[in-house]
Structure formats: C-alpha cells, structure tokens
Amino acid sequence: MEDESGRIYAGCNVENATYGLTMCAERVAMFKAISEGARKFRRVAVVADTETLTPPCGACRQVLWEFCGDVEIVLANLAGKTETLRLGALFPRAFDGSFL
C-alpha cells in the first residue's frame, strides 16, 4: 500500500486454525498505515504466489473502499504478470458512510 507521500506499508496474511479470524495482507497493510498516521493513498498492490492474479477478498474490498475510496489496485504474481484497475471496478455499488 502506498500513501500520498510515497511511503509503502507492507502486509502479510495472518492465518490461524479458525480461518474466520484470519487477517488478509490488504487489511494488515491498511491498518498499519492508518495506525502510523497515513490518511490518503495512491495505490494498493496485491502480490500472490499464484498463476492467476488474486484480487482482494470481499472484506478487504470493503475496508479499502472505506479508507481509500476508488483507489488504484495493482494485481501481480511472482511470474511477473500484472493488471491495474480501480477498486470501483472490483466493488461496484460499494456501501460506505454515505448510506448511513
């Protein structure tokens, strides 16, 4: 995750036996950035050791939308395959504070 000043915040999956309480890398990076004072973001990179590019899960899409809005998402794998899109393309009609 890159904030508006160019600072990078890394995250990793934090998994456990219950799976439901697992924390994805995107949310780890987001929460780390927020805890360190970042408030505006340029892009989020999701890199996975998979053949198929892996987008953020639904929970991560929701958190990213609430803190970043329609941020740029870069999907990549270790073979060098990449795709860049906006979060809005992955998360149409997102729910946020404007509905409260």
The CATH number of whichever domain residue 59 belongs to comes to 3.40.140.10
Range of the domain at 34: 2-93
pLDDT of residue 58: 95
pLDDT of residue 99: 92
pLDDT of residue 20: 84
- Residue 32 domain-assigned? yes
Handedness of CA 59, 64, 66, 67 (dihedral sign): positive
Q: Which residues pair with 23 in a beta bridge?
A: 14
Does residue 26 carry a catalytic annotation?
yes
- Residue 46 domain-assigned? yes
pLDDT digits (tens, 9 = 90+) for 19-34: 889 999 999 999 999 9
- Residue 99 domain-assigned? no
Domain count of the chain? 1
- Residue 62 domain-assigned? yes
Supply 76's token pair.
């990549």
Average pLDDT value for the chain? 96
From 26, 36, 72, 83, active-site residue = 26
- At residue 46 the predicted structure's pLDDT band, cuts being 50, 70 and 90, is very high
- At residue 73 the predicted structure's pLDDT band, cuts being 50, 70 and 90, is very high
- Residue 100 domain-assigned? no
Supply 99's token pair.
């509905």
